[in-house]
Amino acid sequence: HYHCSTTCGTTSIVHLFEWRWRDIAEECENYLGPNGFDAVQISPPSENVVVAQPWRPWWERYQPISYKLCSRSGTEQELRDMISRCNKAGVKIYADVVINHMCSASAGEGRRSTCGSYFNASKEEFPSVPYSASHFNDDKCTTASGNIENYQDIYQVRDCRLVGLLDLAHRKEHVRERVASYMNSLLDMGVAGFRVDACKHMWPQDLNAIYGQLHNLNTEWFPEGSRPFIYQEVIDLGGEPIKASEYSGLGHVTEFKYGAKLGSVIRRWNRDKLADLKTFGESWGLMPSNQALVFVDNHDNQRGHGAGGTSILTFWEPRMYKMAVAFMLAHPYGVTRLMSSYRWDRRLLDGKDQNDWMGPPSYPDGSTKPVPINPDGSCGGDWVCEHRWHQIRNMVTFRNVAHGQPLSNWWDNGENQIAFGRGDRGFIVINNDDCTLDASLQTGMPAGCYCDVISGQRTAAGTGCTGKRITVGEDGRARFSIKASEEDPFVAIHSGSKL
Ligand code: ARE
Ligand code: CA
């Protein structure tokens, strides 16, 4: 039942991490739609436990209390309004769904939840779903603690508690039905797909049964018969018995090796170099391109949670980060996801961030602050908005323009200077060496003058250029010169930047 219908081959998803629904609606209309972003990944929309110690961490949203749709991002009405406005603006919404578990076993009892629903964690009672003790896996889990203790044992990874989170029994029809009904309520509202959290911890056949109960996309916005686009979070860096490939028949799967390896190459660790990227993809042990959801960083590994390790690049290292994101968006592998973050008071102590829990910019009552947009298009108030950096925005356009074209005209200097094209639609040159890149390269592009979309871009009138001008000759060759000291040591041109 899995087809990618409307979404396969589409290009860039942006994760507006912890944004409010109202702000996302505006962003779709004012920015994402006009700039060709394909979709937004939203933070989990379901009701979650309110954590006070530490104060309102971002990760409380990964502890559901019910499938009611009120959260720190807004009300159900605001969610509905956002979905319809984004769809109208041509931007799909993918919801992050947390279905492996409910809240922590130690979350207590009461109504400290985002819609005020009653729960009792020690008795495993969630009457607003409803779930009760028989809907959890306690009888199946055999570890002493009840938690996952060893990732080498596939049974405990699926049937025990992930970091103490109450583990749902998806073998039971009631649980399957409740989860599917939650996802269907979102589909009926116009959501186009899902990021499914913690899939490693659920049996593929159970997920298959749940996905099989899902409705088609809402025909108010999507063609009759369209299926949801599903990408599953499975962290597979090798070395564990559970493989990403067990899930790839059900939907796309996150490829965590991608950001870890790309980060290492751009950092030039262990003599990794850009020239090695000539073969980046399946031959590096990555899953097949048409199954992969790729990203430079995500909401976990940008703060030391999840996986990927210290090679992961984030907005904290903007120069290398932009290079990595530009490479990803120019390269044909996978469906790409961009991270849009908020800044927090990072406190690294022996490599570990003491403040890795900190939630989004918020008021003293815990409610999330709006995202202010500055006159120059950047975001204010600790919202980083990587997706609004012009280099990243313009590379999203590059990816759209180049879509469907093969990687072509690869060039490298054997070290950290590379270039490649996408058929006759686009060409990128990156200099991550310590010396100047100065070369005449075959671009594969039609002759003409192009505007570099990294140092600037074409003016609205279409004839001016605020960046470097690149002249492609009749023979398809162009001369590129990039100093190692440049703030953005890369150049990109595409059909849409022709002057
Ligand atoms: C929080 C506290 C914990 C506490 C727990 C319950 O931090 O100390 O025990 O609450 O009280 C997020 C946070 C967690 C947080 C959780 C619930 O990251 O810190 O726990 O929310 O509030 C594994 C999973 C993978 C998972 C990562 C984080 O396989 O699915 O761990 N990623 C997703 C989300 C997270 C989220 C959850 C799942 C839970 O993206 O944001 O957690 O919904 C190896 C293995 C990986 C393993 C990794 C880290 O690499 O191969 O499988 O990932 O180690 O353990
Ligand atoms: Ca489980």
The residue nearest atom 23 of ligand 1, judged by CA position, is 306
Q: Is 74 within 8 Å of 19 (Cβ atoms)?
A: no
Q: Is 83 within 8 Å of 93 (Cβ atoms)?
A: yes
In the residue annotation, 197 being an active-site residue is answered as yes
Q: Which ligand is nearest to the CA of 59?
A: 1
Q: Is 192 within 8 Å of 39 (Cβ atoms)?
A: yes
Q: Ligand 1: which of 242, 305, 312, 339 to mutate, most ligand atoms within 8 Å of CB?
A: 305
Instruction: Look at residue 377 in the predicted model and tell me its pLDDT.
Output: 97
The residue nearest atom 27 of ligand 1, judged by CA position, is 306
> Smallest Cα–Cα separation from 62: which of 107, 125, 111?
107
pLDDT, tens digit, 9 for 90 and up, residues 178-228? 999 999 999 999 999 999 999 999 999 999 999 999 999 999 999 999 999
pLDDT, tens digit, 9 for 90 and up, residues 153-169? 999 999 999 999 999 99
The residue nearest atom 29 of ligand 1, judged by CA position, is 198
Whole-angstrom distance, CA of residue 229 vs CA of residue 206? 18
List Cβ neighbours of 454 (8 Å cut-off, separation of 6 or more): 326, 391, 394, 467, 488, 490, 491, 492
Amino acid identity for residue 125 in this structure: E
Residue 4 has pLDDT above 60, yes or no: no
Task: Give the distance (Å) from ligand 2 centre to CA of residue 202.
Answer: 5
- How confident is residue 351, by pLDDT bands cut at 50, 70 and 90? confident
Task: Give the distance (Å) from ligand 2 centre to CA of residue 108.
Answer: 21
Residue 37 has pLDDT above 90, yes or no: yes
pLDDT, tens digit, 9 for 90 and up, residues 39-81? 999 999 999 999 999 999 999 999 999 999 999 999 999 999 9
Whole-angstrom distance, CA of residue 444 vs CA of residue 490? 18
Is 274 exposed, middle or buried, given 0-12, 13-18 or 19+ CB atoms closer than 10 A? buried
Give pTM, 2 decimals: 0.97
Average pLDDT over the chain, rounded to an integer: 96
Catalytic residue (choose from 38, 233, 236, 488): 233
Query: What are the pocket residues of ligand 1 if the criterion is a CB atom closer than 6 Å to any ligand atom?
Result: 59-60, 62-63, 98, 104, 151, 162-165, 197-198, 200, 233, 235, 240, 300, 305-307
pLDDT, tens digit, 9 for 90 and up, residues 76-108? 999 999 999 999 999 999 999 999 999 999 999
What is the average pLDDT across 245-269?
98
Whole-angstrom distance, CA of residue 476 vs CA of residue 178? 58
CA distances from 324 to 210, 263, 413 (A): 36, 7, 18
- How confident is residue 277, by pLDDT bands cut at 50, 70 and 90? very high
pLDDT, tens digit, 9 for 90 and up, residues 450-476? 999 999 999 988 889 999 999 999 999
Phi, psi (rounded to 5 degrees) for 451 = -100, 130
Whole-angstrom distance, CA of residue 83 vs CA of residue 102? 25
Instruction: Look at residue 1 in the predicted model and tell me its pLDDT.
Output: 32
- How confident is residue 10, by pLDDT bands cut at 50, 70 and 90? low
List Cβ neighbours of 339 (8 Å cut-off, separation of 6 or more): 14, 15, 17, 295, 296, 297, 298, 299, 302, 314, 315, 386
